[in-house]
Structure formats: C-alpha cells, structure tokens
Amino acid sequence: MTKKLLLTGFEPFLDFTINPTMKIAEELDGTTIGDYTVYSHILSVDFHKAGKQLLQLIDDTKPDAVISLGLAGGRFKINPERIAINVNDGPKDNQGHKPENEVIWEDGADGLFSTLPISKMVKQLKARGLPAEISNTAGTYLCNHVMYQALHYTKKNNKPFPAGFIHIPASHELAIEHGKIPSWSHDDLKRAVMICMETLSEANG
C-alpha cells in the first residue's frame, strides 16, 4: 500500500506575480514517487489562514509525510530548511496583515527542527547535478509559519511522521516578469522536488 505525502505550494505574494511552487504542486498531484502518492494543495499567503489550512489538510488527508514548498525569490539553490522559529514578522501578507514579533504558539518551543532527511536530500540533489544547500533560516514570513505549524502539530500530537519545508528559487517564467532575481527552469525545479521525495521515500522505506 502506498503512503500519503501531503505536498503544499503557495499562491503568489508581494511582487512575485507567479509562484512556481503552485505549478509544481499541481503537476505532482496524484503522482506516485517512491512509496508515496502525492496529495497537493495550495496555501494562502495569509497569516490568519495558512496554518489553519495546513492543519485541516493534515486532519483530512492523514498523511504519512508533509513537505511544504515556498518560493525564496533571490536565492539560487534548492534549500531544504533546517529549522522553523516561533515568530511571525515581515511584510504585509495578501490580506494586508503585517505581523511584528508575533508568537505563533504561546506553548510552542522557540525553534523546531525539520524531520525530513535534509542532509540526504542535499547530497542526492548535488549528485544528480542540481545545486542545493541546507538553509539555516526559513525567515519569519509565511514559509517559516507553515513549517512551524506542521512541526508543532506533529510534536504536540505525538505524530512521528516526517515534516518540513523546502525553499526553491524563482522559475524563468517568474524571473522574466520580476526582472531582478536568479532563476531555474520549471523542469529542473520540479525534478529537484521529485528527487527530495524519492530521498524521503528511501530514507523511510
């Protein structure tokens, strides 16, 4: 029996008129990679909604693993994130909310480590010709927020399934629109996400 992998992408935000994570999530929905069948969903760039959406999806899907994807416009490698921190801060979200030093969960740890095989993912990506590096900060915006929400949930509810976050660079399509950020082809971005999933499957097989 295949396991379920919940894969999330995000809608466009700020001056990023396209979010490449959306197309990747949509294209991988329903596919089987290693031991996992992919269940994809797109999250809102909205501090009041994104966490609730993700937790609801976890309740509905009952996944065996969760990988969330986000665009890091300006970065130039695939970045599996190491840690999420208990703070919301940053520019306005898509509903105009601008958090300043907000705590995500009062009862939460300051930081929560990814439970994805991030070192193995980076090694595999590089071995397969794709630049990658572990990132030690997911920022304090929506990506950090949903990573924190997933890890807080697994810890609090004693659900030991792997969960974490991968930041990806812009696609060429977005970089043409934006004008000031490095970019990868959509096919390479998608291949990188698939390699991360294969690695997860091998690590948990």
Task: Compose the 40-59 pattern: x for residues touching ligand PCA by CB under 6 A, - for all others.
Answer: -----x--------------
Q: Binder to ligand PCA among 71, 112, 166, 200 (CB under 6 A)?
A: 71
User: Is 13 a residue that touches ligand PCA (CB under 6 A)?
Assistant: yes
Q: Which residue is nearest to ligand PCA (CB)?
A: 143
Based on the shown chain and the rule CB under 6 A, indicate whether residue 196 belongs to the binding site for ligand PCA: no
- Residue 28 as a binder of ligand PCA (CB under 6 A): the answer is no
Tell me the closest approach of the beta carbon of residue 71 to ligand PCA, in angstroms: 4
Let me know if 196 is a catalytic residue: no
Residue among 69, 138, 143, 150 flagged as catalytic: 143
Task: Assess 72 for contact with ligand PCA (CB under 6 A).
Answer: yes
Query: Which residue in this structure is represented by tokens 């304090």?
Result: 140
Task: State the Cα–Cα distance between residues 134 and 166, nearest whole angstrom.
Answer: 9
Interaction site with ligand PCA (CB under 6 A): 10, 13, 19, 21, 45, 70-72, 139, 141-143
